[in-house]
Structure 1
Amino acid sequence: MEKKPVKIVTIGGGSSYTPELMEGFIKRYEELPIREIWLVDIEAGKEKLEIVGAMAQRMWDASPYDVKVHLTLDRRQALKDADFVTTQFRVGLLNARIKDERIPFSYGMLGQETNGAGGIFKAFRTIPIILDIVKDMKELCPNAWLVNFTNPSGMVTEAVVRYGKWDKVIGLCNVPVGAMMKEPEMLGVKLEDLTYQFAGLNHFHWHKVSDKNGNDVTAQIIDKMYSNDSGIPANIHDVPFIREQLEQMNLIPCGYHRYYYLQEEMLKHGIEEFNGVGTRGQQVKQTEAELFELYKDPNLNYKPEQLTKRGGTHYSDAACETILSIYADKKSHIVVSTKNNGAVPDLPADCVVEVSAYISGKGALPIAFGSLEPAQRGWLQLMKNMELCACEAAVTGDYGLALQAFILNPQIPGGSTAKRVLDELLIAHKKHLPQFAEKIAELEKNGVTVKDEVAANLD
């Protein structure tokens, strides 16, 4: 039977990650016959879209497949009759990330893209946009699947389900992919020799592993983590976890747990970078500029090695395999953000969790993990409720609820400084936070300004 050709739309198509996405689609073309690809961006990203779009076309032209890459700033034109919509956009571009990092650091608290104050504000900027995209999808491609890679991926997926009322969505992250690439090597086996079970939230999950005979090998991997490269993403400072803690829980935390389990060490390192080489966002800005210089090369028709310096490397395997698995009903095991439906009984069934799932024509079928022990359960319930407050504040513009999310967040000490950082971030991002416009006007009237000079002078 002839396979139905597929139309794929990527919003945030001017991203430096797009060549990796193209590589993933080219690799899977025989199983996933793509009819057309649309890369969508906004006016501010037009130059990058044209550069990366031309490179994407060169990659397809160098392949055996005749696929046309369309570029547009008109999202609605692209979405018409799409089969899959992938999202990888950054509201406010990298300058917004730098503000998210520098303003908290200037007050001695963590500034990070998806954790702490920065993660909350990335959600505030992103959630209204993803809900607008869902609104367009309901009209223009009501049968399409939304595959989200925009951070904070879990909160964005939560908002799509809870406020967008759109269940055909899967949130993705490259962190589990990295673990499943690295850990089999540690044990001297192949991935297919192991069974993985993940549970938690995006950038806040744990996993356990067993072998072909059903024997738990988590402890063996924990042991190897102290003598091998632990395989954490390039954007996380590699401080070893406290061994006794991991041995007690017999679970492997994701790399981002360092911001919680090793808060003191991670904060110290972040402040050193803030005062020295610059925050991670400032460093990435340099890496990205180098990548786009490479992408301009008319002879470059493959993904350059330098892309692995970005923290999200390998995500194409998650994104492309998810799309293929839905299209072909493959039932591949992929770790995704999806509606809980009882997989993690410590959280409500209707909230979004990040878990192992089989991906079928029906979407994600989450695999039951079971209840967590008190230490992990306590963290999980706190973090989920913080996320729910942040999501609702992003939708409603409720300042009091935004403050609740801040005070709940373990990276933000409660008190007047938390409020001050919240207020400065609102001022700094006012162009992208129309839902908070009334409060921002009040803050400006009362003379609130951004203390950090670098953040204050970023457009």
Structure 2
Amino acid sequence: MKKFTVVIAGGGSTYTPGIVMMLLDNADRFPLKKLTLYDNDMERQKVLGEALNITLKEQAPEIEYSYTTDPATAFADADFCFAHIRVGKYEMREKDEKIPLKHGVVGQETCGPGGIAYGMRSITGMIELIDFMESYAPNCWMLNYSNPAAIVAEACRVLRPKSKVLNICDMPVGTLRRMSQIIGKTPKDLEVRYFGLNHFGWWTSVKDKNGYEYLPQILDYVAKNGYLTQIEVDTQHMDQSWQETHKKAKDLLAVDPRFLPNTYLKYYFYPDYVVNHSDISYTRTNEVIDGREKEVFSTARRIIEKGTADGSEFSIGSHATFIVDLARAIAFNTHERMVMIVENNGAIANFDHHAMVEVSCIVGTDGPEPLTQGIIPEFERALMYQQVTVEKLVVQAYIEGSYQKLWQALTLSKTVPSAKVAKAVLDDLIEVNKGYWPELK
């Protein structure tokens, strides 16, 4: 079996060690020849990079490993780039969450004004990464799961339409894991049909390989319990704030009991609830800094101090096996069935052909082929059209440097109550994002 060269862009991310461990755990399915971490923040990356160097020497010495801030070195001979960058790091994420809350608006990383602010920063970083890849590894595929995925995907569609970039999100995978627990199956036992936008969609079918439909059983469970399950081992999104989000799914389902909702819909259906249950002094960013950030970096420093990973291993990012599934689908033409973000092109019959939608796809050597979803109901179509227009306006505002279009994007978001509030939030976000956003006029 061929061995692959992989670069992980965002090498200083707290998710990187889990992804590396996941790759090692899947070495029989996706063997590595060379692994490189790439980040523009060497100080942050070095801690994880050194700890992983020790880990790989002990567990997989045959893999050629390095970490660097030089894109030419990072991308040399790469077959795949796994991209999960965070432009502005936690410092800016905290502003994305707290500035909207100051105005009584949802403060969230990917939804509403915070997601728009993050998107405006992420476009620059993603386009730079794509250009590096195409310069130094023209045959490389980029598997992008950087947030906010919807805005990033739209920017890629407009600015780099011919690039070999696949946009995917772990949220449908994580929720499917919970669905499988509800019915006593594993995610690999199930095939789903799903339509929507990233962080904004619905499952319409959950079948096993024999064609048995579990949707009614899961709908009944979620109507009573949300996506909360009794099995919490080896499951992502475990913090208290996420548990509340999983529980809230029962209220999302009540809005349309036909389909299983993506949990992120709570920010659009119940923004008042979200704001009232938010603590502006301690948002999700603070929770992550005090949780995953400390845990991962303390583990890394322990490994470096001891000179061995024995007894201080990084956890396997088992939720991220979808990345290996996607890479294998491209490399070995496995025709894996996956939920991905793709240009609609008729997959949803009564929706904008050029919208970047999230639907079930069959993935092979040429990339994803969307499964036809047919005509979707008016309620979901209207919600999606409003939200996809927000995303398109953000990308247009970025390209044109248009204050007007970004104000329109914020005004159109279901999370923002009025144009007046949208303008106040926008002006505050512009101030703190100087140096990250294009100048708006």
Same fold (TM over 0.5): yes
- Correspondence for 2:2: 4
Q: Deviations over 1:243-275 (max 9, x none)?
A: 5954844111111011122222222112xx214
Matched residue type, 2:369: L
- 86, 89, 101: which is aligned to 1:105? 101
Q: Are 2:304 and 1:300 aligned?
A: no
Structure 1 length as normaliser, TM-score? Answer: 0.86
Distance, in Å, in 2 between the alignment partners of 1:381 and 1:35 is 44
Distance, in Å, in 2 between the alignment partners of 1:13 and 1:244 is 36
Distance, in Å, in 1 between the alignment partners of 2:4 and 2:212 is 41
State the shift of 1:166 in Å: 3.0
- Correspondence for 1:447: none
Q: Are 2:242 and 1:233 aligned?
A: no
Q: Deviations over 1:63-107 (max 9, x none)?
A: 355112211111232123321112111111100000001111011
- Correspondence for 2:141: 145
- Correspondence for 1:291: 296
Q: Secondary structure at the match of 2:302?
A: coil
Identity of matched residues, %: 27
Deviates more, 1:392-401 or 1:209-218: 209-218
- 163, 180, 189: which is aligned to 1:184? 180
State the shift of 1:189 in Å: 3.1
Matched residue type, 1:408: L
Q: Deviations over 1:217-252 (max 9, x none)?
A: 322102112247536834543343455954844111
- Correspondence for 1:443: none
Q: Secondary structure at the match of 1:240?
A: helix
Structure 2 length as normaliser, TM-score? Answer: 0.89
Residues 199, 262 of structure 2: 8 Å contact kept = yes
Aligned pair in 2 of structure 1 residues 36, 241: CA closer, same or farther (>3 Å)? Answer: closer
Residues 218, 250 of structure 1: 8 Å contact kept = no
Residues 186, 228 of structure 1: 8 Å contact kept = no
- Correspondence for 1:219: 216
- 124, 127, 131: which is aligned to 2:123? 127
Matched residue type, 2:36: W
Distance, in Å, in 2 between the alignment partners of 1:281 and 1:265 is 19
Aligned residues: 423
Q: Secondary structure at the match of 1:62?
A: helix
- Correspondence for 2:328: 324
Aligned pair in 2 of structure 1 residues 248, 103: CA closer, same or farther (>3 Å)? Answer: closer
Q: Secondary structure at the match of 1:35?
A: strand
Matched residue type, 2:101: F
Residues 338, 362 of structure 2: 8 Å contact kept = yes
- Correspondence for 2:13: 15
Matched residue type, 1:96: M
What do you get for the CA RMSD once the two structures are aligned? 2.2
- Correspondence for 2:432: 428
Matched residue type, 1:199: F
Distance, in Å, in 2 between the alignment partners of 1:328 and 1:386 is 37
- Correspondence for 1:450: none
State the shift of 1:304 in Å: 4.1
Matched residue type, 1:300: A
Residues 340, 359 of structure 2: 8 Å contact kept = yes
Q: Deviations over 1:384-430 (max 9, x none)?
A: 11111112212332111111111111111222221111011011110
- Correspondence for 1:360: 364
Q: Secondary structure at the match of 2:193?
A: strand
Deviates more, 1:247-256 or 1:382-391: 247-256
Residues 249, 263 of structure 2: 8 Å contact kept = no
